Amino acid sequence: MRSFFLTLTMIHLKTATPRWIIVVFDLCLSIFALGLSYFIRFDLNTNLKAMKTEWLGHWPEFLLYLFLKWIVFFFFKIHQGLIRYTSSAEIKRIFLASSACTLIFILISTIRAWGFNTTYLFPSSILIMEFFFSVLFLIGSRFVIKIWYYETVKNEETKERVVIFGAGSMGLLTKKTIENDHKNPQKVLAFYDENPRLKGVRIEGIKVLGKEDLVGFLKNNQVEKIIVAIRTPQKESLSWMVDFCLENRIKIQRVKDPATWVNGELTPKKIGKIAIEELLGREEIHLNQATLAQKCHEKTILITGAAGSIGSGIVREILPAITGKLILLDQAESPLYELQQELKDEPQFSSIQFIIGDVRNRSFLKELFEYHQPNIIYHAAAYKHVPLMEENPKEAIETNVQGTANLVDLSLDFGIEVFVLVSTDKAVNPTNIMGATKRIAEMYAQHQSQVGKTKFITTRFGNVLGSNGSVIPLFQRQIEAGGPVFVTHPEITRYFMTIAEACQLVLEASMMGLGGEIFVFDMGKSVKIVDLANKMILLNGLEPQKDITIQFTRLRPGEKLYEELLAHEETTLPTHHAKILIARIRSNQPQFIEQFKNLLSHQGSIHEKVALMKAMVPEYISQNSTFESLDAHGTV
């Protein structure tokens, strides 16, 4: 019988209680508060005859008391909240409602006594005691029910054992969200925080662990899940935590950025898997916005390839500093339209021009320069996909080399102040058409830096997380489709950085450059792609080679097994920025300009063009490509 009653009670508590029951419950508590006040006023003397006389003499006032309480409670909506989710907002409403009732009673009493020369509605002592008792009973009853619900009802369910990484305000909100989510019963065992001042303290009865206590606690208490509840955790700490959880088969989740919360409220849907991008980037880099604003003051800035990953990233980073005009150029209509829609609510939108055009078209570019008179150019337009360019070398030469030459020459003609070429680490000892074309573009910009006053600056970096065609979105699609995940080679490695990091470093390099430099970025540690695939599968709650298989294909045309390490002490010089270095490179050959003109001429076959590129860039040795035969014999 007892278990049947408990089960029935649980069913009722898990559904919304009818509002009229809460109203009646609150009015009964109010009557009790009033009766207790009278009881105290009678010096705790249970004189039933005196109380009966009081009731018979003042029953209309008691009915008015109930009526006014009902009206005020309804006005303040204290009956609308779910009791098991009682929060500070409900407490505030109850306090205001009780205060309003007491003020109304005092006002009516004053009018009765002074206006009609009769007795007060209730004695002043009664009103004061009734106010405190009402607030105490209404709030206290809700917390009693809430505690009883969590301690009795939810204890009947099997709970997932959770530790929250972060003991700040977000961690506390996460704890409350977990406790309120009865569909996914979980129990918070502890907080973990790297702030030594918080170690050992208790927050809402939950202990805060330090790093030296964490590993033992996780194993001894059979913790099943860790939830990261820090807005910007340190990359090293987050990576260590993820690796530990994946090694020990502990689930790990992340509270999403508060900017994504609906109405600023954290819900269980905003606690999800960790994005692999968060683990591969470095600590946040802070661009010197004051210097950037000074450099860009009243300037007209042209960004080519503005709708691409890097181009649009530069737009977002530079937009707050714009006081002049921003020209966004791209040949891709739909992506440029999407960027336009994204920026239309920005205060600087009226200063932005969106232009469809091709950097290979010199006459079009000349008209653009004549009309807009740019001062600074960020050249991010390029073809970048290695296998595609290996199959389409003519397009790679025309876009990456001819397009860059058009902009460089016009920059000299129009006296552009700064020209920044966005290049790639694949230009270092290139093994493919794409890398070779970008290296030749670098060489031409460097050569022309000696001709006029324009500062030609080149920036190089590796693979950009989240950029168009990058490996992570591809792996994610393959995982969501049930696999397999395709990796080209078990030993292949790459360097990664985030779009924001790449763009901020490009802007920083453009501000420190004097002209003629090739800036390279410290890319940190290389990542084994198969390890990246394994980690992504695990972060999706699946097991590699069991739930999702990994299949090795082969290196694609022109693809390297290992990318060159750009930030090497023997090949770079330091700058004032720890993440930015200057590449040491050889001087161009005397015949470079003649070879450059021949490359861009309309004469010669594709194989002759590639052979000429190999002569211009002696370190260009093809790999896994139809052009490997050109490395064994003569050049043009």
Model confidence at 302: pLDDT above 90:
yes
Beta strand pairing call for 352-356 and 325-330: parallel
> Rounded to an integer, what distance in angstroms lies between the CA atom of residue 169 and that of residue 121?
47
Q: 80-114, pLDDT tens digit by residue?
A: 555 555 566 677 777 777 777 878 777 777 776 66
Whole-model pTM: value is 0.70
Q: 474-514, pLDDT tens digit by residue?
A: 888 999 999 899 999 999 888 888 888 888 889 988 888 88
Task: Give bridge partners of residue 206 from the DSSP assignment.
Answer: 203
Q: 430-439, pLDDT tens digit by residue?
A: 999 999 999 9
Per-residue pLDDT band at 281 (split at 50, 70, 90): low
Buried b (16+ CB within 10 A) or exposed e, 518-533: bbbbbbbeebebbebb
pLDDT confidence of residue 147: 67
pLDDT confidence of residue 598: 93
Q: Residues 6 or more apart from 595 whose CB is under 8 A from it? A: 589, 612, 615, 616
426 belongs to the catalytic site:
yes
Fold of the 289-630 domain: Rossmann fold (3.40.50)
Residue 202 φ then ψ, to 5°:
-115, 135
Task: Give bridge partners of residue 254 from the DSSP assignment.
Answer: 228, 272
Residue 458 φ then ψ, to 5°:
-115, 140
Per-residue pLDDT band at 389 (split at 50, 70, 90): very high
> Rounded to an integer, what distance in angstroms lies between the CA atom of residue 597 and that of residue 402?
10
Compute the Cα dihedral for 280, 284, 290, 291 and give only its sign: negative
Q: What distances in angstroms separate CA 35 from CA 122, 134, 467, one per listed residue?
A: 12, 11, 71
Per-residue pLDDT band at 419 (split at 50, 70, 90): very high
Q: Are 379 and 404 in contact (CB under 8 A)?
A: yes
Do you find a cis peptide bond into 387, omega within 30 degrees of 0?
Answer: no
Going from N- to C-terminal start, the domains of the chain cover 2-153, 158-274, 289-630
Q: Which of 295, 426, 560, 614 is catalytic?
A: 426
SS (H, E, C) 38-76: HHHHCCCCCCHHHHHHHHHHHHHHHHHHHHHHHHHHHHH
Q: Which CATH superfamily is domain 158-274 in?
A: NAD(P)-binding Rossmann-like Domain (3.40.50.720)
Q: 494-505, pLDDT tens digit by residue?
A: 888 888 888 888
Q: 232-244, pLDDT tens digit by residue?
A: 888 788 888 888 8
pLDDT confidence of residue 590: 84
pLDDT confidence of residue 372: 95
Q: Are 80 and 19 in contact (CB under 8 A)?
A: yes
Most confident of 36-50, 215-229, 309-323, 353-367: 353-367
Q: Are 513 and 457 in contact (CB under 8 A)?
A: yes
Compute the Cα dihedral for 532, 536, 542, 548 and give only its sign: negative
pLDDT confidence of residue 600: 93
Residue corresponding to tokens 């927050």: 203
Alpha carbon 83 to its chain centroid, in Å, reads 34
Average pLDDT, the chain: 82
Domains 158-274 and 289-630 are alike in CATH topology: yes
Three-state SS for 347? coil
Please give the DSSP secondary-structure letter assigned to residue 262: B
In the predicted model, what is the mean pLDDT of residues 33-46? 68
